[in-house]
Structure 1
Amino acid sequence: MPRGKVGGKYDRRMSFDDVKDERMLVMVDKLCCWMGGILDEKLNRETLITSIRNGVLMCKLATEIQVAVDDYMNTAEDPGQLPKKPPQNFATDCGARSMEARDNVGKFLQWARDLRVPESSIFSPDDLLKLKGKMNVVNTLLAVARRAKDCGMAADIDAPPKIANAFKGLEEKFGKKFEHTATAFGGAKTALKETTMTLTSGSAWKIVQQKIDSILQLPGKPSYEIFRN
């Protein structure tokens, strides 16, 4: 069935065509980049709702985040109450309107509550299952992303736009076009070309490296190998 079609008719609720607020659309794009990067899925405004509607991808997202949560609970001085396990025994092959889908969504939402996502940010199952409030769903997932960062997850939902702005400023300063690599930090998982060139302290690429390091603020050696000797 083509995207955005329900019962053979185009359904605007399945995409974000009916959202006119550009700020909201930017949030959707950030979410797609962040979530897609973690799960190695191609998500965008057209595919997000259809991809997550049966709850499977959200439970898989929780499973990935739980790894960071476990590390955080083992190292933080006072981590507080956090989920000890990701959603368990969720159905991986079910329709968007099935009881299994409702159960999947319920398990994810309970895990999000255990993650201490504020109740005011938790969407109602029907916001997703019956397409009553897709932006409520987006807001919940954004809140989950913020809590994941609080618990030490390296994937930062704000990293790609920050890096994009850094590249824009550098292009203006040096009058040259830099290869845009922001999608590597929360976007599609792509192999990055390593460079063997020694970087001098005043070179444009050295400044790019320093800016990205300061944006990500990752402990120890960053997991990426970009602009490095």
Structure 2
Amino acid sequence: MPDSLYAQALRDVLQRLSSAAAASGRPRPRLLAVSKTQPATAVAEMAAALHAMNVTAVAPAPAFGENYVQEALAKQEALASETLEWHLIGHLQSNKAREAATAFDWVQTVDRDKLVAALARHRPDDRPPLNVLVQVNIDDEASKHGCAPGEVPALAAAIAAQPRLLLRGLMAIPAPHPDVAHRRDAFARMKALFDALAGQYPQIDTLSMGMSDDIELAVAEGATMVRVGTALFGARQRAQDS
């Protein structure tokens, strides 16, 4: 199959993941292609490249991350003939919970009890339970969403108690600190939280952390999923309204 527009970028990212996994002695994490602000045509082309490189052999379908519910809904409608897995990775407002619970396969940004109840109430009975990650504000940044590390156990318990939700693990966006050791420490603290939680809930298998600029650090500290946008699609296009 001839290279698509994104094939070489995908190849480069997969090589980075493989090299980082080999260097750290850890399994290669799952790749989530962050498609926010990218057009549906780009998503379709990236999905084809993922299939061509057999990346989907160990996953249900090509997985794409979106920040905004309305933007994602438009892409899902345009790509209705494709079998894709959709992850919400942006902050979720309570008034969008019904749409998110219906349209997405994963919500990675659950950070408060109110969202847990809303997502569980609106998840359709004819769909599998919604995969959920607890978002942790690991560096206590005022500009970022996410619960405090100490709030993780209670929030996880609330999610696990909902039959229409499936607790899968944790997600974080550590501060882009210029000191590599500082960033590595944030990833390590997330891994410790993840390991403690996994000891309580056997279904937990996902630690979503690491983006285009820090894939290697995240993999070294135990990420099982990385969220990559710029390295795959290039610079972002103009953001859509949420």
**Higher helix fraction: Structure 1 or Structure 2?**
1
The normalised TM-score by structure 1 is: 0.27
Higher Cα radius of gyration: 1
**Higher strand fraction: Structure 1 or Structure 2?**
2
The normalised TM-score by structure 2 is: 0.26
Q: Which has the higher contact order (CA 8 A, sep 6+)?
A: 2
